[in-house]
């Protein structure tokens, strides 16, 4: 589903290199986890996959279903089925969450040449997903993420992920800031969509999340590279020993 | 990356190509020589066959104007205007005033058609519910070419005509009220307007009458190097109501053009005037070449008890806007409202706001201003709320929000508050926010294009004010705002 080959990335307008020949494959139906020390480039990787303008790709490719997406605009990538749950979701003042959700869903449908959702259909979908995630209705009337608590923002990301039905979801530290109940709800949200057609790339610092979302693969990232790949047991080993064995590997 | 780069390039290339009303209409015009002297004033007055007192009034204004200097306190910059290099009167050649639309030059009718303003009553009647009808006064450069539905309005006792016609048909009414809200000496441009005003609308709503339809005036500047000096006067007698809308456009030209209007509103006891403006004068090109200088004095006088004046404006055009629609809350219990959306892009400069002058007891006012700056534009809100010694229990609520798009524009808020009574309650809220790259990226990650994301955020920002516009214009205004901001993302 997602294949990254020899990716080199630097900050646009600066010489600072962040990703340094990174290789990564996430197959259809796979749940892959990335763990790694602060500043190793995990968020940068997710941003570059999604097309954030602050970064410059100096070499390498990012393929989604075999298509290089690096030349595509962020909204085109989204319509192609890519979703990023942000580590720090943005506040959008003045725009009711409902309005935003509808605009986003219809924009993607339009890009894919599908008909717009009718209002009743839209409301039905939102209510169902919000109920599952324990998001109260009045929150949907508030401007998106404005004044939401850290955990509420994260839930809102998962609500959007659920509604937009992406093929490839990247979750950047979605578990940070979530209480135990919310963590379980989020994990259920992912597990419910776990099937041969969907893939997930879960960035996290904590084994705890991986207790609920059992990863097929765990990658260790350090200094802009994937330095080790293993199964679920690798996360447990990291939990015990930290990153010291990998710090100098890159 | 590529898409955002593309939008950045669009900002750099932002051009008047987005201005949809820039066409020029070819009609034979009658104009005296350029320049301003007493003779110019006499010419205009004679051309309109005005009563002698009107000419005297104009000449008096002209003499005062010569002793005045242009104000410089606004946050706007422009080269000195050469008042001798302007035509002060330009009218389509006709044999006397047109008696019906058939006598109006078809090119002019065509121009209004292109602007989406139907002037033939039959066309307006077709398919429009009576309550949704709009009567139009169409002012083309210096003259009103037609006013629709006059006869139907007259049945309700409503007078709606050009100010030139009013001077012929109801001179006593004009004489009684003109200059009583904006005195001849008020300010440089108002005094200039008093000397050389050419046309505009006149509205009189008799006692107890609720005007049966929306009234509107559509101003079009067409002729090159010509100033437009419009004068509008609206009087709402006791217990009456009227909703009035003005729209403005001009061709795309390299030279700056001056539009210096005066609008006076008067409400008697329990009367209400709702005045809405959708201003879309040509804004100039990417480098600030050309565009209209919109120097306007608009003021309402709530003369009667419990009367109400509300100004709603959507300002998207003009190279420079200098405009402060104000309310004098003279009658006890009267109310003033100001709702404004001011959009600036490219090199536009906006200095706009309002004055709420509380004179009577228990007077209230409300100001909601939304400024949106993009490109390299500068957008200033300037407002004054004052309470006189006798204005006990005066209340004002002000909310001024600014939204910035990009890094090269500016937003400024200059609120003045003066209170001479301890019983007044004035509240003021102000916010400045910015549409950041990060917000745009976030929206785009969810599938919205940069333009759609901007439009969504801007719509959220202005919706409180858009709701104040008459329904049929709100949609129009919303479109206009997105068009004005096209290519502003980056
Ligand atoms: N726009 C930027 N400008 C300058 N430096 C940046 C920028 N974005 C990222 N960096 C730097 O790149 C490095 C990688 O950052 P990134 O956010 O990708 O790390 P991370 O692995 O997600 O860390 P964490 O676990 O703390 O979230 C850091 O040193 C960070 O300071
Ligand atoms: Mg991170």
How close B469 comes to chain A (CA, Å)? Answer: 19
Q: How many helices (H) and strands (E) does chain A have?
A: 9, 10
CA proximity to B397, closest of B445, B430, B365, B358? B365
Count of A-B CB contacts under 8 Å: 97
Q: Which atom of ligand 1 is nearest to the CA of A44?
A: 18
Is the Cβ pair B1, A53 closer than 8 Å?
Answer: yes
| All structural domains of chain B with their residue ranges | 3-484
Residue A158 tokens, joined: 């998962």
Condensed to tens digits (0 to 9), the pLDDT of residues B203-213 reads 999 999 999 88
Residue B320 tokens, joined: 């420079």
- CB-based contact (8 Å) between A94 and chain B? yes
Condensed to tens digits (0 to 9), the pLDDT of residues A175-189 reads 888 888 888 888 988
How many A from CA of A43 to the centre of ligand 2? 4
Query: What distances in angstroms separate CA B281 from CA A36, B138, B145, B317, one per listed residue?
Result: 57, 15, 19, 5
Q: What ipTM describes this predicted complex?
A: 0.95
Stretch (H or E) spanning B146: strand B143-147
d(CA A7, CA B229): 64
Q: What pLDDT score was predicted for residue A106?
A: 94
How many A from CA of A7 to the centre of ligand 1? 16
How close B340 comes to chain A (CA, Å)? Answer: 17
Residues in chain B: 490
Backbone angles phi, psi at A193, to 5 degrees: -100, 10
Is the Cβ pair B460, A56 closer than 8 Å?
Answer: no
Residue B447 · residue B432 · CB < 8 Å: no
CB atoms within 10 A of CB B9: 12
Residues facing residue B335 across a β-bridge: B308, B364
d(CA B86, CA B318): 18
How close A210 comes to chain B (CA, Å)? Answer: 26
Backbone angles phi, psi at B159, to 5 degrees: -100, 120
B299-311: average pLDDT: 97
Could you list the residue range(s) of the whole structural domain that residue A96 is in? 2-249
Condensed to tens digits (0 to 9), the pLDDT of residues B141-160 reads 877 777 788 888 999 999 99
Is the Cβ pair B445, A93 closer than 8 Å?
Answer: no
The helix/strand/coil state of A233 is helix
Q: Is the pLDDT of residue B126 over 90?
A: no
How many A from CA of A42 to the centre of ligand 1? 8
3-class secondary structure for B275-304? EEEEECCCCCCCCCCCEEEEEEEEEEEECC
State how many domains chain A has.
1
Backbone angles phi, psi at B192, to 5 degrees: -60, -45
Stretch (H or E) spanning B329: strand B326-329
H-type helices in chain A, by residue range?
42-50, 74-79, 97-111, 119-132, 137-141, 150-164, 180-192, 207-212, 232-241
- CB-based contact (8 Å) between B252 and chain A? no
Tell me how far apart the terminal alpha carbons of chain B are, to the nearest angstrom: 11
Residues in chain A: 250
Residue B348 · residue B377 · CB < 8 Å: yes
Condensed to tens digits (0 to 9), the pLDDT of residues A62-117 reads 999 999 999 999 999 999 999 999 999 999 988 999 999 999 999 999 988 999 99
d(CA A39, CA A29): 29
SS3 of chain B: helix, strand, coil, percent, to 5: 25, 35, 40
Of A37, A40, A89, best ligand 1 pocket probe by most atoms within 8 Å of the beta carbon:
A40
How many CA atoms lie within 13 Å of A77's alpha carbon, on the beta-carbon side?
32
- Residue among A76, A79, A91, A93 with most chain B CBs within 10 A, to mutate: A93
Q: Which of residues 434-463 of B touch A (CB under 8 A)?
A: 436-439, 441-450, 452, 456-457, 459-461, 463
Q: Which residues lie closer than 8 Å to B483 by C-beta, 6 or more apart?
A: B18, B20, B316
Tell me how far apart the terminal alpha carbons of chain A are, to the nearest angstrom: 26
How many A from CA of B368 to the centre of ligand 2? 40
Cα B342-B7-A61 angle, rounded to 5 deg: 150
Q: Which pTM value belongs to this model?
A: 0.81
* DSSP code, position B185: T
- Picking from A52, A107, A160, the nearest residue to B441 by CB comes out as A52
- CB-based contact (8 Å) between B154 and chain A? no
The distance from CA B72 to its chain's CA centroid, rounded to whole angstroms, is 21
Residues with CB under 6 A from ligand 1: A 11, 16, 18, 36, 38-44, 54, 87
How many A from CA of A47 to the centre of ligand 2? 10
- Residue among A50, A55, A62, A74 with most chain B CBs within 10 A, to mutate: A74
CB contacts, 8 Å: A55 with chain B: 1
- Give the relative orientation of helices B437-445 and B2-12 as an angle to the nearest 10 degrees: 130
Residue A54 · residue B421 · CB < 8 Å: no
The overall average pLDDT reported for chain B is 86
**CATH assignment at residue A160:** 3.40.50.300
Q: Which atom of ligand 1 is nearest to the CA of A87?
A: 27
Condensed to tens digits (0 to 9), the pLDDT of residues A9-38 reads 999 888 899 999 999 999 999 999 999 999
Q: What pLDDT score was predicted for residue B9?
A: 41
CA proximity to B299, closest of B428, B164, B186? B186
CA proximity to B369, closest of B404, B398, B348? B398
Tokens 């303003």 belong to B117
Chain A: residue whose CA lies nearest to B461: A94
How many CA atoms lie within 13 Å of A117's alpha carbon, on the beta-carbon side?
20
Condensed to tens digits (0 to 9), the pLDDT of residues B102-119 reads 777 777 778 777 777 777
Q: Is the pLDDT of residue B12 over 50?
A: no
């Amino acid at each position: 589903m997602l294949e990254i080959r020899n990716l080199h990335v630097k900050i646009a307008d600066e010489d600072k290199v962040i990703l340094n020949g990174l290789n990564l494959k996430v197959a259809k139906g796979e749940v892959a986890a990335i763990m790694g020390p602060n500043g190793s480039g995990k968020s940068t990787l997710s941003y570059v996959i999604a097309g954030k303008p602050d970064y410059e790709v100096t070499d390498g490719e990012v393929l989604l279903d075999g298509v290089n997406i690096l030349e595509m605009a962020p909204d085109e990538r989204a319509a192609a089925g890519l979703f990023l749950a942000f580590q720090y979701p943005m506040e959008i003042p003045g725009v009711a969450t409902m309005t935003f959700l509808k605009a986003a869903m219809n924009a993607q449908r339009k890009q894919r040449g599908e008909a717009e959702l009718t209002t009743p259909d839209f409301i039905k979908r939102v209510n169902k997903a919000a109920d599952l995630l324990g998001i109260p209705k009045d929150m949907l009337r508030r401007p998106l993420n404005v004044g939401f608590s850290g955990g509420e923002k994260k839930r809102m990301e998962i609500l959007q992920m659920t509604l937009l039905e992406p093929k490839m979801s990247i979750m950047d530290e979605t578990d940070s800031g979530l209480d135990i109940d919310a963590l379980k709800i989020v994990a259920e949200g992912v597990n419910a969509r776990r099937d041969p057609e969907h893939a997930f790339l879960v960035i996290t610092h904590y084994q705890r999340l991986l207790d609920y979302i059992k990863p097929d693969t765990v990658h260790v990232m350090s200094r802009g590279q994937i330095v080790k790949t293993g199964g679920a047991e690798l996360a447990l080993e990291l939990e015990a020993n930290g990153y010291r064995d990998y710090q100098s590997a890159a | 990356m590529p898409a955002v780069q593309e939008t950045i390039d669009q900002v750099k290339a932002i051009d008047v190509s987005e201005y949809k009303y820039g066409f020029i209409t070819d009609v034979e015009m009658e104009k005296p020589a350029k320049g301003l002297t007493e003779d110019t004033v006499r010419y205009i007055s004679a051309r309109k066959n005005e009563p002698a007192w009107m000419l005297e009034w104009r000449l008096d204004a002209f003499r005062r104007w010569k002793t005045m200097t242009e104000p410089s306190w606004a946050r706007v910059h422009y080269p000195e205007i050469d008042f001798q290099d302007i035509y002060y009167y330009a009218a389509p050649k006709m044999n006397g005033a047109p008696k019906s639309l058939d006598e109006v030059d078809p090119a002019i009718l065509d121009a209004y058609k292109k602007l989406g303003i139907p002037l033939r009553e039959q066309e307006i009647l077709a398919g429009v519910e009576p309550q949704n009808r709009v009567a139009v006064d169409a002012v083309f450069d210096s003259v009103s070419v037609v006013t629709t539905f006059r006869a139907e309005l007259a049945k309700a006792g409503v007078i709606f005509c050009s100010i030139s016609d009013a001077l012929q048909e109801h001179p006593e009414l004009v004489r009684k009220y003109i200059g009583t809200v904006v005195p001849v000496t008020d300010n440089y441009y108002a005094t200039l307007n008093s000397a050389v005003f050419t046309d505009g609308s006149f509205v009189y709503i008799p006692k107890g009458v609720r005007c049966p339809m929306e009234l509107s005036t559509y101003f079009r500047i067409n002729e090159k190097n010509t100033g437009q000096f419009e004068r509008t006067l609206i009087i709402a007698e006791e217990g009456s109501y009227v909703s009035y809308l003005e729209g403005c456009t001009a061709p795309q030209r390299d030279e700056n053009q001056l539009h210096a209007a005066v609008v006076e509103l008067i409400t008697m006891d329990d009367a209400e005037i709702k005045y809405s403006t959708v201003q879309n004068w040509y804004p100039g090109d990417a480098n600030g070449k050309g565009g209209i200088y919109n120097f306007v004095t608009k003021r309402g006088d709530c003369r009667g008890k419990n009367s109400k004046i509300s100004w709603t404006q959507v300002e998207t055009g003009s190279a420079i806007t200098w405009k402060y629609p104000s309310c004098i809350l003279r009658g006890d219990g009267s109310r003033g409202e100001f709702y404004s959306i001011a959009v600036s892009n490219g090199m536009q400069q906006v200095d706009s706001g309002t004055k709420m002058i509380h004179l009577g007891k228990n007077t209230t006012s409300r100001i909601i201003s939304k400024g949106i700056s993009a490109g390299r534009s500068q957008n200033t809100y300037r407002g004054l709320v004052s309470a006189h010694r006798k204005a006990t229990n005066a209340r004002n609520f002000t909310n001024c929000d600014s939204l910035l798009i990009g890094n090269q524009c500016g937003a400024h808020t200059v609120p003045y508050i003066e209170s001479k009574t301890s019983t007044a309650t004035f509240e003021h809220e102000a916010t400045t926010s910015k549409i950041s790259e990060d917000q745009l990226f976030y929206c785009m990650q969810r599938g919205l294009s940069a333009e759609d994301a901007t439009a969504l955020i801007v719509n959220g920002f202005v919706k409180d004010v858009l709701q104040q516009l008459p329904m049929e214009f709100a949609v129009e205004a919303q479109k206009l705002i997105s068009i004005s901001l096209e290519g502003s993302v980056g």
